[in-house]
Structure 1
């Protein structure tokens, strides 16, 4: 019988660990650089033993690992200072473009406005400060793409006037659960487009191909 720590993990296990790490970063327990390193290791993990070192020094990590494995705090651990990730409450592009991507803190609401321009609001690696985030997206003769990952719940409530306000074709299947964050997208697209797209995590497809070849 395979020992618990040598059992193969699923994509859901990787996603759950990643969300746990983002929450730890939002609480100020790990800094931005360490969050990036741990996220990369989480998506490259193959068995539960690969995940344990990533969460062993963080309180409340027991749900991340299977029964039979004990996650003990690392000796001498002290909480890190609050992470230095940027916080953006607005994204504005007038005859230009704007991108929000990578690791950044998302407040309870974020306003995106474009006039004859383009905006990408990429939430795949973002740290949510609340379980639900409202994106107020308004596009006039321009485009706004709101990008979410597989395990983020989405509600699209906007209106298209001579334009489109919609959830686009997903690039990855939804993997929703009770702890999935919720993104509510509201606003108006006037002769423009607001599109919500579900995509894999950055680099995830490449890592999956590498794992498959191992």
Structure 2
């Protein structure tokens, strides 16, 4: 939330994009702890970015411990008892280490776990990696993206920093024009993209979160 999240706020006061992003991170952490199923996480993230006032946020966190840290005390319900720790972190989410497309296509999107590194390769095909709703296990992630006469498209959100270090050989290896303004914070994840594109393209694009309406952060929606 903007300022102190514990500061009382009227339930019908309009929320900001920063409020939405903070709650989204809270929900992803809950999913990573095994408290939310994949479908539940996706539904709550969609509702988060559609929320208008503080009262809209309450149903999204009412059954999660630590709700008061992201919902103002005047709008939040009474604290709930902490759930038992998950037996294994991220147990409910897919955790692919690589994505490969040979004369085909592969897409990663929604809630999934990105480890310290992920390898993407396409040969006359396409790989789409949507990291906007992904759960990061470490702050800095390395994406090894390579393509031969194909494409690897990587999508990040406004809060993810990107470092593009690859090489295009008769092709393109680049970050395209942002579709939403960058909005970094002290805990923003970092995605470092390495590799090569031979007669193909590796492209990183910053887009609004799924469910965000046109005009959020002053840019067009995806």
TM-score scaled to structure 2, two decimals? 0.82
1:130 aligns to 2:104 (yes or no):
no
1:180 aligns to 2:195 (yes or no):
no
Q: Deviations over 1:18-73 (max 9, x none)?
A: 01110111122222222122212211211222223322443444442347666643
Number of the residue aligned with 1:17: 23
Distance (Å, rounded) in 2 between the aligned partners of 1:40 and 1:66: 20
Distance (Å, rounded) in 1 between the aligned partners of 2:80 and 2:215: 28
Unaligned runs of 5+ in 2: 1-7, 217-222
Unaligned runs of 5+ in 1: 209-214
Distance (Å, rounded) in 1 between the aligned partners of 2:63 and 2:186: 25
TM-score scaled to structure 1, two decimals? 0.85
Change in Cα spacing, 1:127 to 1:47, as seen in structure 2 (3 Å) is same
Number of the residue aligned with 2:92: 84
1:118 aligns to 2:118 (yes or no):
no
8 Å CA contact 2:146–2:196 kept in 1: the answer is yes
RMSD of aligned Cα (Å):
2.5
Number of the residue aligned with 1:194: 202
Distance (Å, rounded) in 2 between the aligned partners of 1:195 and 1:3: 41
8 Å CA contact 2:68–2:76 kept in 1: the answer is yes
8 Å CA contact 1:118–1:142 kept in 2: the answer is yes
Distance (Å, rounded) in 2 between the aligned partners of 1:91 and 1:76: 36
Aligned length: 207
